[in-house]
Amino acid sequence: MENTDWWRGAVIYQIYPRSFMDANGDGVGDLKGVIQRLDHVADLGVDAIWLSPIFTSPMRDMGYDISDYTDIDPTFGTLTDFDALVARAHDLGLKVLIDQVISHSSDQHPWFTESRQSRDNPKADWYVWADPKPDGTAPTNWMSLFGGPAWTWDTRRRQYYLHNFLPTQPDLNFHNPEVPAQMLDTMRFWLDRGVDGFRLDVVNFYFHDQQLRDNPAVTPAPEEPAVRQFDMQQSIYQKTRPENLAFLQRLRALMDDYDNRATVGEIGELQRAIETMAAYTSDNRLNMGYSFEMLGTVFTPDHFRRQIETFFATAPEGWPCWAFSNHDVIRHVTRWAGHAAAPAAFAKLCAAILLSFQGSVCLFQGEELGQTEADLSFDELTDPQGIAFWPGDKGRDGCRTPMTWEAAAPNAGFSAANRTWLPIKPEQIAHAADTQTGPESVLSFYKRMLALRRATPALRTGDTVFEDMGPGILALRRGGEVLCLFNMSRETVPVKVPEGATPLLSQGMTDEGELAANGFLIARLDC
Q: What is the pLDDT of residues 25-50, one digit of tens each?
A: 999 999 999 999 999 999 999 999 99
Q: Where in the chain is the domain with CATH 3.20.20.80?
A: 11-104+177-207+240-450
Report the pLDDT averaged over residues 150-157.
98
Confidence at residue 136, expressed as pLDDT on a 0 to 100 scale? 98
pLDDT grade, residue 511 (50/70/90)? confident
Name the DSSP letter for residue 221: P
Q: Indicate if the alpha-carbon torsion angle 197, 202, 204, 210 is positive or negative.
A: negative
Q: b/e string for 90-107 if b means 16 or more Cβ within 10 A? A: eeeebbbbbbbbbbbbbb
Check whether 168 has a pLDDT greater than 90: yes
Tell me if the domain spanning 463-524 has CATH number 2.60.40.1180. Answer: yes
Asked whether 277 and 288 are in contact (CB, 8 A), the reply is no
Residues with Cβ < 8 Å from 402, sequence gap 6 or more?
19, 20, 22, 29, 411, 412, 414, 415, 420, 421, 422, 424
Report the pLDDT averaged over residues 322-331.
98
The residue type of 227 is V
- Order the strands of the 151-154 sheet from edge to edge: 129-130, 159-162, 151-154
Cα–Cα distance measured from residue 102 to residue 154, given in angstroms and rounded to the nearest whole number:
22
Q: Is residue 201 flagged as an active site residue?
A: yes
Cα–Cα distance measured from residue 370 to residue 360, given in angstroms and rounded to the nearest whole number:
20
Asked whether 267 and 290 are in contact (CB, 8 A), the reply is yes
Fold topology of 11-104+177-207+240-450: TIM Barrel (3.20.20)
Name the DSSP letter for residue 431: T
Cα–Cα distance measured from residue 200 to residue 266, given in angstroms and rounded to the nearest whole number:
6
CA distances from 295 to 44, 153, 362, 384 (A): 22, 34, 11, 20
Residues with Cβ < 8 Å from 420, sequence gap 6 or more?
22, 27, 28, 402, 411, 414
Cα–Cα distance measured from residue 325 to residue 292, given in angstroms and rounded to the nearest whole number:
9
Name 49's bridge partners. 13, 96
From 81, 201, 368, 397, active-site residue: 201
- Mean pLDDT, the chain, rounded, equals 96
Cα–Cα distance measured from residue 422 to residue 401, given in angstroms and rounded to the nearest whole number:
6
The residue type of 427 is E
Residue 39, H or E segment? helix 31-44
Q: Is residue 65 flagged as an active site residue?
A: no
Asked whether 362 and 52 are in contact (CB, 8 A), the reply is no
pLDDT digits (tens, 9 = 90+) for 140-153: 999 999 999 999 99
Check whether 1 has a pLDDT greater than 50: no
Asked whether 112 and 68 are in contact (CB, 8 A), the reply is no
Q: b/e string for 273-302 if b means 16 or more Cβ within 10 A? A: bbbbbbbbbbeebbbbbbbbbbbeeebebe
- Closest alpha carbon to 345 in 520, 523, 521: 520
Cα–Cα distance measured from residue 336 to residue 350, given in angstroms and rounded to the nearest whole number:
10
- Closest alpha carbon to 268 in 290, 250, 245: 290
Check whether 2 has a pLDDT greater than 80: no
Asked whether 291 and 281 are in contact (CB, 8 A), the reply is no
Asked whether 203 and 239 are in contact (CB, 8 A), the reply is no
DSSP string of 509-526, one letter each residue: E-TTSEEEEEEEEEEE--
Residue 270, H or E segment? none
Cα–Cα distance measured from residue 152 to residue 353, given in angstroms and rounded to the nearest whole number:
44
From 266, 293, 367, 397, active-site residue: 266
Q: How many CA atoms lie within 13 A of 251 on its CB side?
A: 28
Q: Where in the chain is the domain with CATH 2.60.40.1180?
A: 463-524
pLDDT digits (tens, 9 = 90+) for 453-479: 999 999 999 999 999 998 999 999 999
Confidence at residue 527, expressed as pLDDT on a 0 to 100 scale? 64
| pTM attached to this predicted model | 0.97
Instruction: Outline where DSSP puts E strands in 459-510.
Output: 464-467, 473-478, 482-487, 493-494, 502-509
Name the DSSP letter for residue 104: B
Cα–Cα distance measured from residue 510 to residue 501, given in angstroms and rounded to the nearest whole number:
14
pLDDT digits (tens, 9 = 90+) for 249-288: 999 999 999 999 999 999 988 778 899 999 999 999 999 9
